[in-house]
Amino acid sequence: MSNANEPSLHCLPVHQSRVDPASAADESQETALKTKEWEIGMLQDEVAATQGIRIRRRPPSGPPLHYVGPFEFRLQNEGNTPRNILEEIIWHKDTEVAQMKEKQPLAKLKKYLDSAPPTRDFIGALKSAYERTGVPGLIAEVKKASPSRGVIREDFDPVEIALAYEKGGAACLSVLTDEKYFQGSFKNLEAIRSAGVKCPLLCKEFIVDAWQIYYARVKGADAILLIAAVLPDLDLRYMTKICKMLGLAALVEVHDEREMDRVLGIEGIELVGINNRNLETFEVDIANTKNLLEGERGRIIREKGILVVGESGLFTPSDIAYVQDAGVKAVLVGESIVKQSDPAKGISGLFGKDISV
Ligand SMILES: O=P(O)(O)OC[C@@H](O)[C@@H](O)c1c[nH]c2ccccc12
């Protein structure tokens, strides 16, 4: 569980070991802290597992030397290989964020918040696009590459693509900021924001720590992504509250029934994305959107007034019509439009009509 208001135990300075009694006390305190930190990590993964979450936050490590806790805990050092690509990304993100936090602690980030320009209404933009066009509001994704597809667009100019999307009638944009797996960056997000693009911007990042939400806000995001396959309920609750406080929209992404049911049980969630791509296996099936909106779940979603976004694997006007019939009022599309030489034309091709203003 991440708490932005408390310093991470990762960041505690490592003391040099000397032999005087004072430093021996320091050392035993440090061992105690390390043990505590390790135990908390184990417990977090256990809580997450009870919610059906298979992604572990960081590689399992053996207990610190001289550990005397429960025997089962001592047995759980099961090797340091991620079980799938999502888990690999999350483990990498965990170390990356720890380093970024060290360079720019939360207290420093918070100073920039005072001078940050106001956020733009992400959900409002989707709703008015839907009303204006009669088709789902488009979140167009600025995406150079992905682990499943490799490089999607070679001559990648993020600002040019963003401007073309806006011209083509996108309601909002999604900008990938992960560098290692998606060849994105926060520089792209900042560049798009300062190029005068008016569409609200989603920071497409793998969030594992509340610090990242503040960082996204400072870098010009209007919305962030929270992945239910990665974040336990407590994190989803806590992080959506931080978003409200910062004026950001939270797009909470689910892929299966269990994740959808968890999310529907949490108060205050207004925007839910159904990912048609399984992030563990890369399989894509747009019927997933339909399945998750059927019956009782669809009823609860309508009752709560949640706006649903159909995500991934949408290529043709009939794909759009299919997810619209299933009940989505917005779609998130990357590959099919980013790879067109003119992304604005890609948008009219995707919807089968011109949706520009
Ligand atoms: O390129 P596609 O198939 O149109 O997909 C876009 C978007 O849905 C996809 O990039 C995505 C959905 N959820 C994510 C989470 C992380 C990274 C990427 C994603």
CB-ligand 1 contact for 346 (6 Å cutoff) = no
Ranges of beta strands (E only) in 228-342 are 249-254, 271-275, 307-311, 330-333
Does 285 reside within a domain? yes
Rg of the chain, C-alpha, whole Å: 22
Does 334 reside within a domain? yes
Q: How far is the CA of 240 from the centre of ligand 1 (A)?
A: 20
Atom of ligand 1 nearest to the CA of 277: 12
CB-ligand 1 contact for 334 (6 Å cutoff) = yes
Does 40 reside within a domain? no
Q: Which domain holds residue 268?
A: 110-351
Rounded CA separation 38/152 (Å)? 40
CB-ligand 1 contact for 232 (6 Å cutoff) = no
Does 187 reside within a domain? yes
Q: Whose CA is nearest to atom 9 of ligand 1?
A: 312
Q: How much is the pTM?
A: 0.88
Q: Whose CA is nearest to atom 17 of ligand 1?
A: 204
CB-ligand 1 contact for 313 (6 Å cutoff) = yes
CB-ligand 1 contact for 333 (6 Å cutoff) = yes
CB-ligand 1 contact for 178 (6 Å cutoff) = no
Atom of ligand 1 nearest to the CA of 149: 1
CB-ligand 1 contact for 324 (6 Å cutoff) = no
The domain tally of the chain equals 1
CB-ligand 1 contact for 275 (6 Å cutoff) = yes
Cα→Cα distances 141→2, 40, 59, 165, 168, Å: 28, 37, 30, 9, 13
Q: How far is the CA of 346 from the centre of ligand 1 (A)?
A: 17
Does 192 reside within a domain? yes
pLDDT in single tens digits along all 357 residues of the chain: 444 444 444 443 444 445 566 677 777 788 888 888 888 888 888 889 999 999 998 888 766 666 666 555 545 545 578 999 999 999 999 999 999 999 999 999 999 998 899 999 999 999 999 999 999 999 999 999 999 999 999 999 999 999 999 999 999 999 999 999 999 999 999 999 999 999 999 999 999 999 999 999 999 999 999 999 999 999 999 999 999 999 999 999 999 999 999 999 999 999 999 999 999 899 999 999 999 999 999 999 999 999 999 999 999 999 999 999 999 999 999 999 999 999 999 999 999 999 998
* Contact assessment for residue 159 and residue 190, using Cβ atoms and an 8 Å cutoff: no
Residue with tokens 């089962």: 72
Q: Whose CA is nearest to atom 18 of ligand 1?
A: 204
- Which CATH number do you get for residue 208? 3.20.20.70
Does 339 reside within a domain? yes
Q: How far is the CA of 78 from the centre of ligand 1 (A)?
A: 31
Does 246 reside within a domain? yes
Q: How far is the CA of 143 from the centre of ligand 1 (A)?
A: 9
Q: How far is the CA of 312 from the centre of ligand 1 (A)?
A: 5
Rounded CA separation 206/241 (Å)? 18
CB-ligand 1 contact for 202 (6 Å cutoff) = no
CB-ligand 1 contact for 280 (6 Å cutoff) = no
Does 28 reside within a domain? no
Cα→Cα distances 320→295, 316, 317, Å: 21, 7, 5
